[in-house]
Amino acid sequence: MHQKLQNLKNEALAQIISAQSAEELEQIRIQYLGKSGQLNDIARLFKDLSPAEKSSVGLLFNDVKSAISDALSSSKLSSLKSSSPADFDPSLPGVKIALGHLHPITNAIEEISSVFEKIGFSRVRYPEVDWDWYAFESLNFPDNHPARDDWETFFVDTPARPHLGRMLLTPHTSNGQVREMERVKTPPIRMVNIAKCYRRQVDVSHTPMFHQFEGLVVDRGITVANLKGTTDYFVKTFFGPNRKSRLRPYHFQFTEPSFEVDISCGICNGHGCKLCKEGWLELGGAGMVHPNVLKAGKIDPSEYTGFAFGWGVERTYMMKSGTKIDDIRLLYSNDIRFLTQF
């Protein structure tokens, strides 16, 4: 009796799962649960069982009946409709599948790479987890510089090395400068390094992880005029032909002289507005490569000169005409309503 009930349960559930219509489900219900159904036929045999058998068989009988009833009344199966030809309208339009696209930062990186490739820059990649030597020491940072503090830079909990120092998450893409000099050995050098950077900053214009693109040119006779020409070309190509750039004196450890690069505001075209105040927006840092950095890369500063610049991809993209992004954190919010606008 036990085996018969178990087989009946398995058989009924198999038929329910493969049912294709409400009518078929109703036939299955009548076959197993109806007055003349198979379960009622088994119930009539209870009178011939001993009291002990009635108890164990009864429990299994109730279990089988409940399992079949639950399967028949489940929302998935009870919602099946008749599959008659009248229910299908071939003239109705199909549901269009939404297509994804690249993230706006990925698009920005590809566009920036394309701009510099047109004037002879080679795209390179260097470690995003690097040593203090490449991120600070070789770039002319003194030991007590604030950027080398644990509250400014993410250091990795690993033993320091004698020459390379502590391991860290790169706070800028400038770690690729000396690495590129070591790789090329003899100039000319014309590279752009685009990678992730990490700093302990979070607000509307900063995130702990961001992207930066680093340009480096080293050759004989390189001057500030070459730097200005390169920034002008990038600004007009990336931001638009009506935008202008200017160099404003500043200080960076790894360049001398150093500059902040500003671009004319895309809202007021340099006349002054609520966004820019005086017609200019800060783009990023640049300058002539410091002689100590050239020496760290084993390049003779009396024979070669160069310029470098490092700008944030997110900040650069936010300043592009028409983007209207006022909070950098929106780019990493994963809000599909925001991302589908780009």
Binding-site annotation: residue ranges: 256
Q: Which residues contact 262 (CB under 8 A, 6 or more apart)?
A: 245, 246, 248, 280, 281, 282, 283
CA angle, 152 then 156 then 159, to 5°: 125
Collapsed DSSP state (helix, strand, coil) of residue 252: strand
Residue pair 288/259 in contact (Cβ under 8 Å)? The answer is no
Decide: residue 219, CB within 10 A, 0-12 exposed, 13-18 middle, 19+ buried: middle
Collapsed DSSP state (helix, strand, coil) of residue 319: coil
Residue pair 124/176 in contact (Cβ under 8 Å)? The answer is yes
Compute the Cα dihedral for 328, 331, 337, 340 and give only its sign. positive
DSSP 3-state percent helix, strand, coil across the chain (nearest 5): 40, 20, 40
Residues 32, 38: Cα–Cα separation, whole Å: 5
Residues 121, 190: Cα–Cα separation, whole Å: 5
- In which residue are the tokens 């100039």 written? 187
Query: Could you tell me how far CA 248 lies from the centroid of its own chain?
Result: 33
Q: What is the number of residues in the chain?
A: 342
Residue pair 271/279 in contact (Cβ under 8 Å)? The answer is yes
Annotated binding site for Mg(2+): 256
Structure tokens belonging to residue 75: 């929302």
